[in-house]
Amino acid sequence: MAPLTDVEVNELDQKAAAIRATIIEMLVAAGSGHTAGPLGMADIFAALYFRVLNHDPKNPDWAQRDRLILSNGHIVPVRYAAMAHAGYFPVEECLTLRKFGSRLQGHPERTRLPGLETTSGPLGSGLSQAAGMAYAARMNGEKNHIYCAMSDGEHDAGNIWEAVLWAGANKLSNLTGIIDRNNIQIDGYTESIMPLEPLREKYESFGWHVLEIDGHNVAQFVAACEEAKAIYEKPTLILAHTIPGKGIREIEGDYRWHGKPPTKEEAGVFLNELRTLQGKIASEHQ
């Protein structure tokens, strides 16, 4: 596939800006939820749903679809927002986040919403699920690709390393992991709580092909996903360096926003900032 054109990059950046605004709207409506992580992953989820994934919003159970597993389920507002903008359900439904009876629970529930592949639970379990899907797809001769989005903080869990080891040993080239390397978790900064570095070298030592990118550069991310499909003897990890709270200067890089929603007053300020950013992005290619 040819590299993204400037126009295509601009379109994905606009999608990411719209997704960020929806995230803020849904969090303030819910009165609870996670802010920093979803904002930080908006660029990657825009690229996934509008460029990378082979999927059909009108037929979510299409057998040949790519699978996207969200291991760190608490950032699911970014997935809901991306799915809504991609046409899985009306964007207005995002305002039902965490409401009683809503399809949009605080963690994804597979049986509630078509288009979700798994129900998230304890952190660190998603890569095991994704590796199992990739192994089964290979056994069945299926050509779809399996993606697994993970947080850096959940690498404190032992289960994830079992999956890293098993996927590498089985050379699951149809599996691509994506780590949101934003350096925060709920109690502080990752390297203070449980140092993860050298993270790249750890994956490589377990038999993975590792690509390091700027997680806010959609062209880099799309190119990394394309390279992953060309690797035939290893699973691929995309180590995406991101800024938690990206797009809102007041909270960027602040771990205290990991699990805190904005107030109504804060949301008004944040949305104005995001609208200004969206207008700037739109004007760049007029």
CATH of the domain at 86: 3.40.50.970
Closest CA to 123 of 165, 83, 163: 163
Residue at 1 is within a domain: no
Residue at 224 is within a domain: yes
Residue at 169 is within a domain: yes
Domain count, the chain: 1
Residues 6+ apart with CB under 8 A from 59: none
What gap in Å lies between CA 130 and CA 87, rounded to an integer? 24
Residue at 270 is within a domain: yes
pTM of the model: 0.96
Amino acid identity of 105? Q
Residue at 166 is within a domain: yes
Where would I find the beta strands (DSSP E) of the chain?
Answer: 67-70, 146-151, 175-181, 184-185, 188-189, 209-214, 236-241
Q: What is the pLDDT of residue 286?
A: 58
Domain, as residue range, for 273: 6-283
Residue at 44 is within a domain: yes
Q: What is the pLDDT of residue 284?
A: 73
Contact assessment for residue 220 and residue 214, using Cβ atoms and an 8 Å cutoff? yes
Helix (H) or strand (E) holding 270: helix 264-283
Omega within 30 of 0 (cis) for the link into 235: no
Q: What is the pLDDT of residue 104?
A: 98
pLDDT in tens, the chain (286 residues): 678 999 999 999 999 999 999 999 999 999 999 999 999 999 999 999 999 999 999 999 999 999 999 999 999 999 999 999 999 999 999 999 999 999 999 999 999 999 999 998 789 999 999 999 999 999 999 999 999 999 999 999 999 999 999 999 999 999 999 999 999 999 999 999 999 999 999 999 999 999 999 999 999 999 999 999 999 999 999 999 999 999 999 999 999 999 999 999 999 999 999 988 777 777 776 5
Whole-angstrom CA distances from 228 to 1, 63, 79, 81, 224 are 12, 22, 22, 26, 6
Whole-angstrom CA distances from 158 to 82, 153, 205 are 30, 12, 16
Residue at 192 is within a domain: yes
Q: What DSSP string describes 97-151? A: TT-TT-S--SS--TTTSTT------STT-HHHHHHHHHHHHHHTT----EEEEEE
Whole-angstrom CA distances from 90 to 32, 85, 96 are 21, 8, 11
User: How are strands ordered across the β-sheet holding 146-151?
Assistant: 67-70, 146-151, 175-181, 236-241, 209-214
Q: What is the pLDDT of residue 1?
A: 66
Question: Which two tokens mark 156?
Answer: 């404190």
Residue at 109 is within a domain: yes
CB atoms within 10 A of CB 221: 26
